[in-house]
Structure 1
């Protein structure tokens, strides 16, 4: 059996990523032990999503030297990998159904295979690659966030039960899909940071330190909120399809992304950052969409938990292999 030796680079990578996943597990422990009321987590997620992470992105991207970053391979490989893996899953839908996976459960496998957790991606980029890593990951987010939402809605509308949990039919309007993409604060913050960088405007003396302080709060609060959403009971109940989804998300998708990155003319350290983004755990947004649109929310929760637990190893292997 092949194995990956814990060489010094591997140990250094795991050591850099360990605080991220310790924060995630800390969030799970805090919620399990009820050291804070459950009502704390929803506003914490809102604060992180709308204020703290955007502040971090604007500050990091505005101060990054972007002259050496080739954006088209990053964005093309990210979008292409998601489309190819998603397309293959849909093409194999009949065979998967014969193997015992119904429509709502298929939507969970699909989302778990392509949707990244941007919070973990930004945190890993900061830990491993600094400002340049944040810029690369942000470029991936620009295409991945809207594409994941679009594909997720299409698959849920086509294969899920089509109810919102109350027994009533649910079909999203276009504005329910498009407006959240246009108003996504992570995408907007990335665009603002790029504009400040490319125009040479930079950050004013007061604004820069202000955004820096806000951004420092993003990682601990955001990652602990991710941990608070872990559901080990759902992981136990979800069955073998969880393992299959983990394999697709953290082996197949990174491999396809790697091949596309070089096919689009990419080179250099951005390869590790782009492929690492593909190996990220699945976002908790998938659970919200599954519950709202008639998917298998239990399986979705299990997939989110499993991919989060295995992400440290998957991301470490990717970075070690490509650095």
Structure 2
């Protein structure tokens, strides 16, 4: 079995378990929201800090960050073309742009660490340090700009970043790596225990948050923009990598990060900031299902082309 499929199939199974637990109401909806919050404010930051603190910044692949940020920005701009779709609303445009620029970090972390060990985990974390702020700025700007509601809260994207636990973790981890300050052993062991639960809880929550009913509501518009997101973002990342000479494991991680579906929190942010929340739910569900086929196809195409 291909190493990629061997890494992808467990991800699919864990996401499916999360969907089953939610469907059977073994964990109620409010329980899943609490789990998501726990991962967001504590577990994921612990993983980020440890991974960045131990990353070899002397040879850090900054090209990886440049490639992924560039691909995000370009696909966000391409999302503006949605305004030419017949009878599309302004909130729908905002939701499409958000879907284009967000990514499921937990799937990328799982695949990267399963295939490339600690190096893959560190590289995905570096990618997260670049892509999360970019996605937040582009998403908040797109949703608030295209909102029709007058009661939408005005949110400053920069202020949002300052308060974001993941961004704070990136800053702390980066400082530790640059200064080479060691994490005290007892604290490091505690953070390691917290970090170990991040990926599993993130994948379970992704499955629980997937709206299966959205698949039935999906129409041509949802399918089209889902394919744009799943195929064009990795294509842009690959082209950017070839232009600036990104190769080896960093290139493989760039392909993984760009190929994963959009984030499951798109629905919540779209609802809060005046986007088209039902469309956001549809995009999440369709992309999650389609990515099971598009991710291996992209990976094997890259192998056939001799890129990885």
1:88 to 48, 60, 78: 78
SS in structure 2 of the partner of residue 269 of structure 1: helix
Note the C-alpha offset of 1:264.
2.8
Q: Contact between 2:83 and 2:90, CA under 8 Å: does it hold in 1?
A: no
Q: Aligned equivalents of 1:37 and 1:288: distance in 2? A: 17
- Does residue 169 (structure 1) correspond to residue 151 (structure 2)? The answer is yes
Give the unaligned 5+ runs of structure 2. none
Distance in 2 of aligned mates of 1:93 and 1:317 = 26
C-alpha distance in 2 between matches for 1:124 and 1:202: 27
Q: How far does residue 154 in structure 1 lie from its aligned partner after superposition?
A: 2.3
Summarize the alignment of residues 98-109 of structure 1 with structure 2, pairs less than 5 Å apart: 98=86, 100-109=87-96
- Work out the CA distance in 1 between the residues paired with 2:100 and 2:17: 26
How far is the alpha carbon of 1:231 from its aligned partner?
A: 0.2
- Structure 1 residues 262 and 187, CA, compared in 2 at 3 Å: closer, same or farther? farther
Aligned to 1:306: 286
- 1:59 paired to 2:41: no
* Equivalent residues of 2:83, 2:93 under 8 A apart: no
Q: Distance in 2 between matches of 1:55 and 1:66?
A: 19
Task: Tell me which residue corresponds to 2:20.
Answer: 29
Q: Do structure 1's residue 292 and structure 2's residue 285 form an aligned pair?
A: no
Task: Please identify, of 188-197 and 37-46, the stretch whose mean Cα deviation from structure 2 is larger.
Answer: 188-197
SS of the residue corresponding to residue 60 of structure 2 reads coil
Computed over aligned residues only, the root mean square deviation of the Cα atoms, in angstroms, reads 2.0
In the aligned structure 2, how far is the partner of 1:209 from the partner of 1:288? 33
What TM-score, normalized by structure 2, do the two folds share?
Answer: 0.90
Shift of 1:171: 4.3
Structure 1 residue 85: Cα displacement? 1.6
Aligned 1:8-47 pairs, distance under 5 A: 8=1, 11-47=2-38
Match of 1:234 in 2: 214
Scaled by the length of structure 1, what TM-score is found?
Answer: 0.86
Q: Out of 42-51 and 309-318, give the one that drifted further.
A: 309-318
**What is the CA–CA distance in structure 1 between the aligned matches of 2:107 and 2:180, rounded to whole Å?**
29
Q: Which residue number corresponds to residue 65 of structure 2?
A: 75
Contact 1:59 1:211 in 2 (8 A): yes
Query: How many residues are paired up?
Result: 303
Whether the 8 Å contact between 1:281 and 1:311 is mirrored in structure 2 is yes
Hey, what's the Cα distance between the residues in 2 that align with 1:83 and 1:22?
32
**Residue 26 of structure 1: how far off its partner (Å):** 0.8
Matches within 5 A, 1:89-238: 89-90=79-80, 92-96=81-85, 98=86, 100-161=87-148, 163=149, 168-174=150-156, 177-238=157-218
- Per-residue deviation at 1:201? 2.4
Mapped pair 1:259 → 2:235: no
CA distance in 2, matches of 1:93, 1:224: 32
Tell me the CA shift for residue 48 of structure 1. 0.6
Deviation at 1:210, TM superposition (A): 1.5
